[in-house]
Structures are given as structure tokens and as C-alpha cells.
Amino acid sequence: MENDLPSHYSPKEVEYKWYRFWEESGFFHSEPSSSKKPYTIVIPPPNVTGVLHVGHALNNIIQDILIRWKRMQGFNVLWMPGTDHAGIATQNVVERELSSKNIKRQDIGRERFIEEVWKWKQQYGSTIIQQLKKLGSSCDWQRERFTMDEGLSDAVKETFVRLYRKGLIYKGKYMINWCPRCRTALADDEVEHEEHEGHLWHIKYSFKENPQQHIVVATTRPETMLGDVAVAVNPKDDRYKDFIGKTLLLPILGRELPVVADDFVSPSFGTGAVKVTPAHDPNDFAIGMRHALPSIVVMDEDGTMNINAGDYNGQDRFECRTALVEDLKLRKHIDRIIPHKHSVGHCYRCQTVIEPYFSNQWFVKMRPLADAAIQASLNKSVTFYPERWEKVYLSWLDNVRDWCISRQIWWGHRIPAWYCYDCGAISVSTGDINQCTKCSSPRLKQDEDVLDTWFSSALWPFSTLGWPKETPELAYYYPTSTLVTDRGIIYFWVARMVMMGIEMVKQVPFSHVYIHGTILDEQGRKMSKSLGNGIDPLLMIDRYGADAVRFSIIILTTEGQDVKLSESKFEMGRNFTNKLWNAARFIFMNLSEENPEEITYDITTLPFEDKWIHSRLNTTIEECTASLDQYKFNDAAMKMYDFTWHTFCDWYLEIVKHRLNNANNRIDKKNAQTTLAIIFGKTLHLLHPFIPFITEELWNNLTRIAQHNKIALQIGGTGSSLVTSRCPIFSKQFADDTSEHIMPVLQDIIRAIRNIRSKMDIKDKQRLKAVISYPRDFVYGLHEHTNMLKRMANLEELDMGIELQKPSHSASEVIGNLQVFVLLAGILDPLAEKDRQLKHLKQLENHLTIIRRKLNNENFVAKAPPQIVETERKKEDDLQVQIEKVKHILLNIG
């Protein structure tokens, strides 16, 4: 039977074929079962506007590894997929499309606009789902959900109504974060703070009774002073204690401002006197509440100044700042202006500078919910991996503020609250209502706002399973098993899911939370469009293959640490898949030869190397399982890589070649073929969750060839696909401590002889004579493995003994308490070789002198391009290595 594998691995030909087969076979679908234990992951729903980036890739690779591994362990696995409606982002996209046609959403009204968004969603909303499939994600696509689906919308309404009736949702006029571009409120966690180089303006506020006397107030936002209603000082500040209760005049507008005493004011910041603008600063809002001060809004929702701003009415807030400062200078109100670096909040969606804004909004009362979530962590109902992220989670919950959940946009879950025109009462309901619940008036109007996108996302683990209905899925799959996410949404999403799960379903939504790192560029910077340093995972899949991308990313991901990534790193994954492919070609070639003889395969009677490779794989299986149990994906990948590349390919395949070519002992050859097939089959099973496509292709070929040649693969639960096969497990049957202790010693001896060849410039084909000296207490029986040592090190003679003396004219290597000698007599002419090496040494040293002269020249180092200087330094390092090698050869020649 011929080996059908092409000479080169072509990922594109393999990936599409197998993903279609998996989907069409229904391998990813799950139904509640009484006979199997469930394992469930809900996907962090990507925005419906999104396209796959490397952060998504990392997140979904990790989830897919867990899902495939647990499926192969026999769990009834559900990976719940779906997308988020992404209120602000999606509305912005559709508004831009309409704007290109000179249409504003206000022109077509709310209903027509929502229709346009749904049309956009139907056309483009599945883009990221198709991209996740290309990555190999084995989600249950038959269960795909969307946060605006009818059932999920029911869950949102039910949650709102329950929380409102329990007093955990309320409406009030408070200071919130406002995005003038998106024209909506934002929660505290949706504001991204950046350090800005700004100014601290010191402004003179004159006393009403004595305009020649003044208090200097410092501010970073002079445009908001137009809404000032007081000036506050610390009651313990001796500089101002006589001014408390006096009246100041607001520059430009002339409004009367009382001087109030408040402990919040820091005497050491600025001048120790602060302007109080309750409608435009959260701290000032609190001061205003304590002193019963009015709130004056001087800015409209789009960031332009309003009528309360006097002559600056209609100006953009930053235009107003410039004009106001100039006017203050002209009127001698500016005391001084100093540079000042300070933190400025930006909208997490559009990066516009946010405004603290006095507005009437809906809030969730967080303290009772947060206390329950804290307790869930402390009693280990929810466990974080790595553990350090628990402190971040608890810190946020300890300091949580009420959550502003209303958004002034049209795309999203409309708030299920109605206002009565007659009595002013608010009625909430999961369904539409036509009369006031207080006075029965039919004159009602539904709230125009929608809920924060994160409100519906917080319900994702149970709303996707049918809650508030008591569905079989909810009873079976909830609570889910593991959540995999990025640290950036611990506040946005993780904590809120825990709170809502406990409050609504009375159970935590998941038991384990794995927080992975962030992918950075090779310089350690966040990837962004502005920097142009992003890596497109889809482009990398086209160039290197999905398996190479998956393996490269995961082997770089160390226990939740950030990952520095460049395109060159994907070559490692490609090299690994190529190594696996070439190993398969060798294996299949040696299995394809007709050898139909059936044998009894008994591991206890197998040769040493077969027992060793079984034991080594058995140990690797145990170590990888332990690593995956602890979410140490990099650790598991490294162990698989080391076993596959080094142990199996570099050593076992070389050791077993002579048996595969041995036509005289067909039983031994069949044992070698069977061992080869079993070990390779188990290796493919072990690797499958990490690199599913190539392993499926090779497994399919292996089973076909093995069946033809009557080789029993002896892998429990073998199926037609690796997706449904059982993963290998540790078994004492294959553990062999003796071979695992002896083989490393044999490998070290072989390496030592090969190193001597390399250092002495002896050709690989040259057969050598070697001597091994070992101490009296050496316990390993090396003599039993003489033939292997001679074969692997290409020796014609090998002597071994206790405490042997170094033979004359030989090179040596020390391995622990062993010493290896390679005889050079007859291989090298000592005098001729010494003369040749001395000449070589002189050439190298002369070259090194020239390089060092150049590098010691300060003028050259300062003016030459950095890459040229680096090249010369590399030459210096290489020459030093070569010189040491020649000196070693001369030392051994003697």
C-alpha cells in the first residue's frame, strides 16, 4: 500500500475539508443527557461589528483547547457561541452608512432606523463567526445566540423588572460620564483615562464688597467655571478661614458666589481654593449636595456651550476654553498659567474626551449585589486562574459605585418603563402596557433610552440557556464550568455576570475564571490601528495555517502573562506542523509495506526502546493533563512539543529504523511497526485540542494504513474522528522507571560522541572507536545497550569498564560521573592537524583583531547605522566561539 501523503503539508487543502466534515457530522452539537457529565463554556460574545483580531484569536484558541480536550475526556460538552449587539458601536456604524447617503437617523425616525440596523446585522453580523470557524473553533453553532434575540430580550426585561421592584434599580439626577460624540451616558468602567499635558489656570475671583481683593482659584477646565455656584476652601486652612461666608463675583458673568468650607478641599493642591461646579464635576456635585447649592448646566449634549454660558453660547467647549482664557487675560483675571500633566477620561468606543455631566439616568444599586459576588469568591464558588486576578476583582467590588445603565441611543434593549402623563408615576413591565399601574390612565409614554450593552451581557451564561424559562438546557448546563476572558473586562463583564447569576438564578454562573494576557507587539506596545502595529490573524492563517497560528500563540502564552508577538513567531508553529507531517510520511512509508502477519503485542516482552517510548509518552500524558487541569496551556504545549519533536522524532524514529529495515525478523519488525503506530496515534490524540486540523488528517491516514496492515492501534474509545475519540490517559501499565532512567544516560553518551565529532571536525560518516569509563558504584547496565550506542554514534568499536584511563591521543567529554573518550589515532595525523589548526587559529585571531579595532573606534560606533554596528558585534561573538573551538581541538591533539 502506497504512502498517500504529499511531500509538503498544505493547510488550506486540509482545513476546509475537515471543518466542513466536523460541522456536517454534528460533532460540535450537544443535548442535555442524563448519562454524561456536562462541561460548558459560554463564549465572550464578540461585537456584531467586529472582525477577528489577535486578542480574539488567543481567547478562542484557549477555549477551543479546553472544549476539545473535555469532549475527548468523555464530557457532554457545550461551547455556547453568539455575538453582542454592541449598542454604541453598531449604531455608529449604521449612522456612518446613512450619513454617506446624506441621511440622519433623526430624519427617518426610530423605527426605520432600527430596521436599517437589523438589515446591516443580517448582511454583516456573521463575519466574525465565519472567521472563528476558520480558526477551528468547535462551538455548537446550532445554538448560536445574539443579545437582541427574542428570548434574550425577555431575559433582559425580566431582570430589569425584578431589580426595579426589589429597589435595586432606580432613576435619579446625578453626575454621570457623558460622551458628546456618541451623545450618551457611560458607566465609570467605560471611561479610559490617559495622561495629558495640559495647564493649570490660576484665576482671580474678586470679592463683591472689595473688588480689589480676590481669591485665586486653580482649574484644568476653565470653560466649566461659567457654571460655578461657589468657591470652597478647607475649614482648617488658616489662609481662608476669615473669608468663609463672604461673597465672590464670578469673572465675566458676575454671578455671586458664596465661599463655603468643606473638608474635601486639599489645602496643598493648587491654591487651596476650588471652584464648585456641581453640574460638571462629580466631586463638586458632592460638595453641592452637602451645601444645598444649585446646579447650573452650561453645556449641551453635543459639547457646545448653551445659553447659561452667556456670550459663549453656541461655541464648542474647547473653542470656548480658548476664547474665555483670552477674555480673562484682557480683564486681568489670570494670575498665572502653569504646565500641568493630568488624567483625562475618554470614551472607550470613540476616544472622545468625556464630560462629567448632570443628567437624569437609570442606575443599578450595586452594593448588595457586590457583597454577594465578594462572598462567592471568598468561599471559592468562583476561582480565578491565575490567582492574582482575584485581588483585582475583589478590589473593584469593594469600591464599586452604582452603575449607570441608561444610554441615549436607539439600538439596544429599550428600557421597559412607562411614564404617566397624568399622575407622573413610572410603570415597569416585561410586556407592553396600555394604562398606568397607579391611576389607570391610558396616556403613557415609554422611556426613550436603551440599556447599557453590558446589562444584557451580564445575563449571558443563563439567558442563552433559556432563562427566565425553566428549560432542560438551563437545568443541565448551568452553572457553566469555565469562563475564559481578558483582564480588561473583569469589571465590565466578569463581576457583573457573577452578581446577576447569584441574584437571578441563585447560583454563580461559572466555577472557574481563566484570565489570559494581552497580545502586544514585539516592542511591548498594545496593538492599535493608530500605531499600525497590529497582526491580522486571518492573514497569518493564510500564510502559515490555522494550526501553526494556534500552536505559536499558545506556546508563547505563559500563565496569563502578556504576549509579545511578531509575525516571525508563527514560523515556530509552522516548523512544528511540518516536522509532524514529515514524521508521518516516514511512519506511513514504513507501515505501508505489506506485513499482514498478526502478532500478540505484549508490552512486557518488547525491546528496551519500545518500553521507553511508551513510558515517556505515558509520563507526558500525565504531565500535560496536570498542566491543563491548572490552565497552564503554555506548559502543556511545551511538553507536547518536546516529546513530539525531540523524544519521538529525533530519538525514537532514529533508534527504531534498523528494526523497520530488518527483513530477517518479521516479528520484531511487526512489533516496531505496531509501537510506531500506537505511539504516533496517541501523540495525535494528545495534540488534537491544540492543532486539530493536521492531527485529524494524519489520524485518518494512520487508521487506514494500520487497518490495511493489520496493526491494532490499541487506543481506547477510537472513533472515526479525533473530535469524538477519547484522549489518552496515564496508565501504570506503560510506566517503566528503568528505561526512563537509563535512556537519558545513553542519550548523553551519544551526544558526547557527536559533540567530539563536531569539535574535532570529524565527518559523520567516519566510524570511530570509543571508550566509556564509569565508577564502581554505577548502577546502570550499559553493556546491554552496546549495539544501540554503536549504531547511534556510528562506532566500529566500543569498550566500557570501571575507572578506565584516558587512552593516548584521544578526545574526551565528561557526563556526570562518566567519561567518554574518542580515539583519534588513525583518524587525525597529530602533526599535520596541529599545523592546520594553528594556521586556522591565526587567521581567526587576525580577523577578530580587525573587528575589535573597528568596534573600539568611537567615531565608527557613533556614526555607523545601528544595524551595521550590530552586525560587527555579531561577527565578534562568532569569531570568539570559533577560536575557542580550535583551541579545544589543539588541546585534544596535545
Please report, in range form, the residues annotated as the binding site: 529
The gap from C-alpha 400 to its chain's centroid, in whole angstroms, comes to 25
* DSSP code per residue over 208-272: SS-TT-EEEEEES-GGGGGG--EEEE-TT-TTTTTTTT-EEE-TTT--EEEEEE-TTS-TTSTTS
DSSP 763: -
Residue 469's contacts (CB-CB under 8 Å, 6 or more residues apart) are 151
Q: What is the 3-state secondary structure of 389-401?
A: HHHHHHHHHHCCC
What letters, b where the CB count within 10 A reaches 16 and e where it falls short, cover 738-760?
ebeebbebbbebbebbbebbebb
DSSP 386: S
* Beta carbons of 338 and 200 less than 8 angstroms apart: yes
What are the binding residues for ATP? Answer: 529
* DSSP code per residue over 436-496: -TTT--S-EEE-S-EE-HHHHHTTHHHHTTTTTS--HHHHHH-SEEEEEEEGGGIIIIIHH
Residue 140's contacts (CB-CB under 8 Å, 6 or more residues apart) are 28, 29, 30, 78, 79, 80, 81
* Beta carbons of 226 and 298 less than 8 angstroms apart: yes
Terminal CA-CA length for the chain: 56
Cell numbers standing for residue 654: 532514529
- Classify residue 127 as left (phi > 0), alpha (psi -120 to 50) or beta: alpha
To which H or E segment does residue 192 belong?
strand 191-207
Q: Which of 854, 40, 86, 805 is nearest to 483 (CA)?
A: 40
Backbone φ, ψ for residue 576 (5° rounding): -70, -45
Polymer length in residues for the chain: 894
Beta bridge partners of 248: 207, 257
Q: What stretches of 488-600 show up as alpha helix (H) in DSSP?
A: 495-500, 537-544, 546-556, 570-592
* Beta carbons of 72 and 624 less than 8 angstroms apart: no
Cell numbers standing for residue 491: 469589571
Q: What stretches of 26-124 show up as alpha helix (H) in DSSP?
A: 54-72, 87-99, 105-124
| Strand, helix or coil for residue 797 | strand
Q: How many CB atoms lie within 10 A of CB 682?
A: 21
* Beta carbons of 451 and 169 less than 8 angstroms apart: no
Cell numbers standing for residue 467: 432563562
Q: Name the burial class of residue 136, with classes exposed (0-12), middle (13-18) and buried (19+) by CB atoms within 10 angstroms of its CB.
A: buried
For residue 479, say if its preceding peptide bond is cis, omega within 30 degrees of 0. Answer: yes
Strands (E), 737-845: 768-774, 795-802, 810-815, 818-823
DSSP 188: G
* Beta carbons of 514 and 484 less than 8 angstroms apart: yes
To which H or E segment does residue 657 belong?
helix 653-660
Cell numbers standing for residue 333: 483675571
What letters, b where the CB count within 10 A reaches 16 and e where it falls short, cover 387-421?
eebbebbbebbeebebbbbbbbbbbbbbbbbbebe
